[in-house]
Amino acid sequence: MQAIERFADFLSRNRLKMTRERRVILDQVLGTRGHFDVDQLLAGFRRAGHPVSRATLYRNLPRLIEAGIIHKLEMAHGQARYELMVGRHHHDHLICTDCGLILEFESHDVERIQDEVCRRRGFVMTGHTHQIRGHCAACAGRRRRRRG
Amino acid sequence: MQAIERFADFLSRNRLKMTRERRVILDQVLGTRGHFDVDQLLAGFRRAGHPVSRATLYRNLPRLIEAGIIHKLEMAHGQARYELMVGRHHHDHLICTDCGLILEFESHDVERIQDEVCRRRGFVMTGHTHQIRGHCAACAGRRRRRRG
DNA sequence: TCCTAGTTGCAACTCAGTCTCAATTATGAC
DNA sequence: GTCATAATTGAGACTGAGTTGCAACTAGGA
Ligand SMILES: [Zn+2]
Ligand SMILES: [Zn+2]
Ligand SMILES: [Zn+2]
Ligand SMILES: [Zn+2]
């Protein structure tokens, strides 16, 4: 896997150690699809018989982000989610506030407009968050039926 | 002021009472410019000699939002900010992660693209968050000078 | 005026995330 | 392989934003 080398590389470049816990975390992350949270990872560690403490997980998530392996999604009410980014490119999210479904979207035009907005203000962008909240097709349908 | 009537209206439509505390909160909100936080409001209450408890403020901010008087900005690390929305239209934000400066931007094109993305997925948008993080012109300049 | 549902302050609580610290371990030098 | 050392770990205490239960209070309609 490319992610493992990438992480090993990142660690050695920063004089950090490849510990059992870091391997376990990386494995779990690579084996989890979609937009997952800390509790899902912790449950995964237990299921796999390789427990890792909450503190250690929290200490290492930023490292995985710096290494470009995962991306953090800061959602409302402090519910953070993460997603694998190796081999993927940037995208933004549609979040259903009824069922929690997270869809992805991508728009070159929006990215271009953002760059232009920044350029005009002399603002140096280091990142952005673009989330659309609402009701997914299924939930919207359910609501329509209920309300008439 | 239009905001006072609007709030009074919202309250009576929902069988809620216009209390001294609600008047104080609304006054403080109307008298605060920019993107303010809960502690700024609490300090304002004290300064004005009209204290309102933290609990009461937290209980009423959602009411002001529902009434369309203020808007909540959910920023990273759980630092919520609010801004007056009466007589203004929707906009999004550029946030300097060095000095905390918050700039505003507005793009019809981005809004149009969002609508299009939602339409294509049968997604019913109820709101969105679009934040650009980075370094404002002043901070970017300072950094350039420092690094050479 | 009286009644009652809505409101308040306080303090206890929740929840995500961070920090401290003693014990452990990866890694590089010899 | 052995050693030295700096990095890392888990446990649990802690933090800070926000919420909640509750008894006392109050706006506003009958
Ligand atoms: Zn849904
Ligand atoms: Zn995604
Ligand atoms: Zn700045
Ligand atoms: Zn604004």
Average pLDDT on B16-32 reads 98
pLDDT value at A146 more than 90 = no
Are A10 and A80 in the same domain? yes
Are B33 and B16 in the same domain? yes
Could you tell me the CATH number of the domain that includes residue A7? 1.10.10.10
Average pLDDT on B117-139 reads 97
Q: Which ligand minimizes its atom distance to the CA of A137?
A: 1
Q: Which of B72, B88, B104 is the last residue of a domain?
A: B88
Is the distance between the Cβ of B79 and the closest atom of strand C smaller than 7 Å? no
- Helices (DSSP H) in chain A: which residue ranges? 2-13, 20-30, 38-47, 54-66, 108-121, 137-147
Round to whole Å and give the CA distance between A134 and B57: 27
pLDDT on residue B1: 61
Is the distance between the Cβ of A79 and the closest atom of strand C smaller than 7 Å? yes
What percent of chain A shows pLDDT beyond 70? 98
pLDDT value at A104 more than 70 = yes
Q: Could B125 and A133 be called an inter-chain contact, meaning their C-beta atoms sit closer than 8 Å?
A: yes
Asked whether the whole model's pTM tops 0.85, one would answer yes
What percent of chain B shows pLDDT beyond 90? 93
- The Cα of B15 is separated from the nearest Cα of chain A by a number of Å equal to 23
Domain tally, chain A: 2
Give the tens place of pLDDT for each residue, B44-73.
999 999 999 999 999 999 999 999 999 999
Are A14 and A73 in the same domain? yes
Are B73 and B95 in the same domain? no
Q: Which of B56, B88, B120 is the last residue of a domain?
A: B88
Number of other CB atoms surrounding residue A67 within 10 Å: 20
Are A106 and A35 in the same domain? no
pLDDT value at B146 more than 90 = no
Whole-number average pLDDT of chain A: 96
Whole-number average pLDDT of chain B: 96
Nearest residue in chain A measured CA to CA from B75: A74
Is the distance between the Cβ of B77 and the closest atom of strand D smaller than 7 Å? no
CA A22 to C1' C11, in angstroms, rounded, equals 41
Confidence tier at B147 by pLDDT (50, 70, 90): confident
Domain that holds residue A7: 1-88
The H or E element spanning position A94 is strand A92-96
Round to whole Å and give the CA distance between A94 and A115: 21
Alpha-carbon distances, residue A82 vs A68, A109, A143, B109 (angstroms): 12, 25, 29, 29
DSSP class of residue A35 equals S
Are B10 and B75 in the same domain? yes
Are B33 and B70 in the same domain? yes
Are A114 and A139 in the same domain? yes
Give the tens place of pLDDT for each residue, B90-104.
999 999 999 999 999
Are B83 and B94 in the same domain? no
Are A9 and A78 in the same domain? yes
Instruction: List the beta bridge partners of residue A92.
Output: A105
pLDDT on residue A1: 60
Q: Which of A61, A88, A115 is the last residue of a domain?
A: A88
Are B84 and B95 in the same domain? no
- Going by C-alpha positions, the residue among A130, A2, A12 that lies closest to residue A69 is A2
A125 CB-near residues (< 8 Å, 6+ apart)? A114, A115, A118, B132, B133, B134
- Amino acid occupying residue A28: Q
Are A114 and A136 in the same domain? yes
B78 CB-near residues (< 8 Å, 6+ apart)? A78
Which residues in A have their CB inside 8 Å of a CB on B?
74, 76, 78, 94, 96-97, 103, 105, 107, 109-110, 113-114, 117-118, 121-137, 140
Could you tell me the CATH number of the domain that includes residue B105? 3.30.1490.190
pLDDT value at B148 more than 80 = no
Round to whole Å and give the CA distance between B13 and A140: 26
Quickly list DSSP for chain B.
-HHHHHHHHHHHHTT----HHHHHHHHHHHT--SSB-HHHHHHHHHHTT----HHHHHHHHHHHHHTTSEEEEE-GGG-EEEEE-TT----EEEEETTT--EEEE--HHHHHHHHHHHHHHT-EEEEEEEEEEEE-HHHHHHHHHHH-
- The Cα of A120 is separated from the nearest Cα of chain B by a number of Å equal to 10
pLDDT value at A148 more than 70 = no
